[in-house]
Every structure is written in C-alpha cells, then in structure tokens.
Amino acid sequence: MSHVATLALALLVPLLALSCASEERAPEPDLPGIVGAWTIAEVLGTEVAGEGVVLTLGSDGSLSGHTGVNSLTGSYEMSEGALSFSPLATTRMAGPPELMDQEVRFTEALGRTRRGDVGEDGRLALKDDAGETLILATPRP
C-alpha cells in the first residue's frame, strides 16, 4: 500500500467512526438560533487571519467546518442552555505558521465552549464557563 493510500485510510477511519456515532443520536437543539453556517470573525479576542474559517452546526447535532487550513468534523450537544462539542477530527495539512497557530486556538476554544448566544446583532458568541467570549462569528449568507 502506498504512503498516500495509508495516510488517506488513517484519516478516513476516524471520520467514519464519528459519522456512525452521529447517526446513533440526533439531539433536539433547544437553542435553535445557533443552527446554521457561521463565519468565524474572532478567536480568543483576536481577529481571524485569512478567509474561510467557518463552522456549520446542523440541526441533527452534526458539526463541520474549516480552520483556514484544515477541514473539521464532529458533533455538538445542547441541553438547558449548555453547549458542548465532541472531540473534533481534522484533516492534517500543513499551512503557514500563523494559520496553524490560529487553528490550534480555534479548536481549543471549541473544546472550552460551554454556552452559545446569538446577540441582537445576529452574531454568535461561543463562551466558556465564566461567560468569556471565546469565539465570535457572523452568519454566512
């Protein structure tokens, strides 16, 4: 088996496992305002560099997106105002150091998220336990 085929298989297996897991449960979101596609504007108070940093939250609890370098997938749960994300699977391409650092901050911030609020301005704020905004996003057209 070639190195490319081995790498493709190594990336595909975790994605298939997540896909199967998301089919087993389909949570009913109690925060329907966050369902949809979002363009990430800020991560941990820093404006996002580059274009195409996106997060899509499906009504079935699925999550997909792009970090600016890599694609990501996973799931999320909402219950009684609480929001949490599963461990994420990402592709493993390399990019410029500043975008790779941004990717790490983005995925870590998703892991720390405990609440999601859509403000009157229509922006999504993903927040930690203390209510600090970790990620700020705008709706995608």
Query: What is the tens place of the pLDDT at every residue in 78-103?
Result: 888 899 999 999 999 999 999 999 99
Determine the Cα–Cα distance for residues 25 and 48; give it in Å rounded to an integer: 32
Q: Is the pLDDT at 3 greater than 60, yes or no?
A: no
- Which structure tokens are listed for 120? 């009157």
Average pLDDT over residues 26-32: 46
Whole-number pLDDT of residue 21: 47
Determine the Cα–Cα distance for residues 133 and 102; give it in Å rounded to an integer: 16
Residue pair 54/39 in contact (Cβ under 8 Å)? The answer is yes
Query: What is the tens place of the pLDDT at every residue in 95-125?
Result: 999 999 999 999 999 999 999 989 999 999 9
Q: What percent of the chain has pLDDT over 90?
A: 70
Neighbouring CB atoms inside 10 A of 89's CB total 20
Nearest Cα residue to 54 out of 139, 132, 120: 139
